[in-house]
Structure 1
C-alpha cells in the first residue's frame, strides 16, 4: 500500500492526451480498467470515448498481448451492454478486450486495511480484482451535492465495483448502503479495501460536470479541456480538484495522511 512521497500527476490538454500507463501495465497478462459508465448519458456524466479510447490504446501499446477487461457496474435501469452500445464503447475494443458487468462477477470479501475503519471491516467486490496484474480507474470529473458538495473522480468511481444486490438500500439500481453515514466517510473504507489495489487513475476533465443537487446525471458542463493521470489515485484526484477549481475533499486529505502513517509504520517494521 505504500506510495512514494513525491507522486507525479500528469496534467495535459485533452487534445494532446496520450496515455502513459504505470510500469505494472508493461508486458503483463491481464489488465482491469474501471471506467465511469454508470449512466446512459454521454460525457461529462460518464467518461468520454476519446479519453477511454486513449487509455485503452496506451495499455495495448504497453502490453500487446494482454487481456484487457473493462469492468463496470451501472447505477441505472439500463443495462451495461445497452449503455456501452449507446455511448460507443464497443467500437473501442479490440479482440483482446472485453466488457464485463461487475454485478455479474464472482465476489470476494476484501479486508479493510485501515487502522480505523469507518463502517465496513470488509467489503465485497469482484474477485477478478485480485486476478489481474494491473488496475486502472478512469473517472469523470463531477461535483454533486449530497448534504455537502461531493467530488467524483478516480476514487469515487470505484463505487461501481460493489454489487448492488448487497449494497442497495431503498433503490434497487443504486448502492444506498454506501451513502451511510456519508459518502466521504465510506470512501475511506473503499480506499482501504479495494482502492489501494489500483495502480493508476485517470480523470477526464475535458468537461467538468456540476449538479445542483444529488443527481449525478443531471446538471451542467463546464469546459476545462484537461486530463489528469498518474499512479496514485489520491494524488490524481487532488490535482484534478486544484486545477479544476474545486476544494480538495477532506477525505482525500484524511486518506493521504493515513497512507503516509501506515507507510511509516511499515518502514519502521522493516
Structure 2
C-alpha cells in the first residue's frame, strides 16, 4: 500500500470551504487535485485524519477519490492576492495531501439521491469508527459522480489526537455525535454489515494504512514521544475500536430509533 507523490505546478483557485482553505491545483501528472494544506489551522493532524480516514474507507470497499502526496515549493501560489492565503501557502511548503478532483461531481442531497440501506450502514459504521463529526445534513461530504456515491473530507475524524493522553478512553467511546449523521435514518443494517467490515479491516491492514503517514507529519513538539510511538497509538486506537465495534453500533442504533 502506497500513495503517489506529485509536484504541484499550477495554483488554480482557493476553495473557501470551512476554515481550512483548501485549494484547487494542478500537478505534474496533468490532473487537478483539491489540496489540503499542512499550514492550515489543525496542521498535519488534520492531514493524518484525512489520510487514515480516506484509506480505511477504501479498504472497506467504499469509493474515495485517489489521495496523493503533493509537494509545494516556494513559488507555489505567489500570484494569489489574498494575504491570508499567501500566509497559508508559505506555511505549507513541503508535503501536503491532495484529493483527486472529481470534475462535474454534485453534492449529495439526501432529499433527492437515494442509496440503499447496506451502503448507508457501511458509511455510518465507518464514520462511527473514525469518530467523524463532519457528515451531516448541513455538510454531507458526499458527492455523486457518474451515478455513484463518493466519500470526501475525513479531516475532522480521529479527534482523540487533540487530547492524546486519553486515547484509551476515546477508543472505547460510543460516539454520541453519530446522531447527526446524514445517513443514519437509512442505516438499518449496522449489525448486518459489522462482521464483513471487520473481516476487511484487520489489524494488519490498519497498520499498513498508518504506515503511510509521512515522518515529518509526526514531528509534534508537545508530546515528548517518538514518531513510532505516535504511529503505534493510532494503530492501537483503531484496532481497539474495531474489536469493540458493538459499542458504537449500539449507540448508532439507539440514535436511529429516536429518529425513525
| TM-score in terms of structure 1 length | 0.30
Radius of gyration: which is bigger? Answer: 2
Bigger strand fraction: 1
TM-score of the two chains, using structure 2 as the length reference: 0.30
Q: Which has the higher contact order (CA 8 A, sep 6+)?
A: 1
